[in-house]
Amino acid sequence: MRFLATDHGQGLSKITREIVPAGMISNTTMNEDETYMREALAEAERAARQGEVPVGALVAAPSGDIIARAHNQPIGLNDPTGHAEILALRQAGAVVANYRLPGHVLYVTLEPCVMCVGAAADCGRCAYGGWRRR
């Protein structure tokens, strides 16, 4: 799994080019990443409106279709694993009828925690929008 850090405050393409080795990502991919990240941000807004930590996630299939989307819901679901990434990965697994998601991309608005990184290990790539404060 390759992690692609993006930061909307500093410009998606600038950060992408610093982290991904030269030649590994095209301008087309960067434009797609930004489009998908905007969709994930809409999910984060839903979480905020529900009083949850504002994190959103989605999974894009190799075809480019969004096959899953979710936002943080650990409070509403009374579930400590109710992170946006986990919920989106569960949906995607159900759609493809497999827990492995090679070639799929997980987009998440905030750097995934250790639990979510482990869950995303069988995903082709994970792109996130910002780093967690430590």
Locate 61 and state its tokens: 């299939």
**Are 129 and 108 contacting, i.e. CB atoms less than 8 angstroms apart?**
yes
Q: How far apart are CA 72 and CA 49, in angstroms?
A: 11
Closest alpha carbon to 12 in 112, 1, 2, 25? 25
Catalytic residue among 43, 52, 85, 111: 85
Residues 53, 39, 7, 57, CA torsion sign: positive
Q: Is 85 a catalytic residue?
A: yes
Could you tell me the strand order of the sheet in which 123-128 lies?
Answer: 2-5, 123-128, 101-108, 56-60, 66-71
Q: Catalytic site residues?
A: 85
